[in-house]
Amino acid sequence: MRTLPCRVDPDMWFDWETRGSSTEGYARIAEAKALCRQCPVKAACLAEAERIEDGVADRTWGIWGGLTPEERISRRGRRRKAVA
67 bridge partner residues = 64
The full set of domain ranges for the chain reads 8-83
Tens place of pLDDT per residue across the chain (84 aa): 577 877 777 777 776 555 556 787 788 888 889 999 889 999 999 998 888 877 665 556 788 999 988 898 888 777 666 765
Residue 23, CA distances (Å) to 54, 57, 71, 73 in order: 31, 27, 19, 23
- pLDDT on residue 73: 84
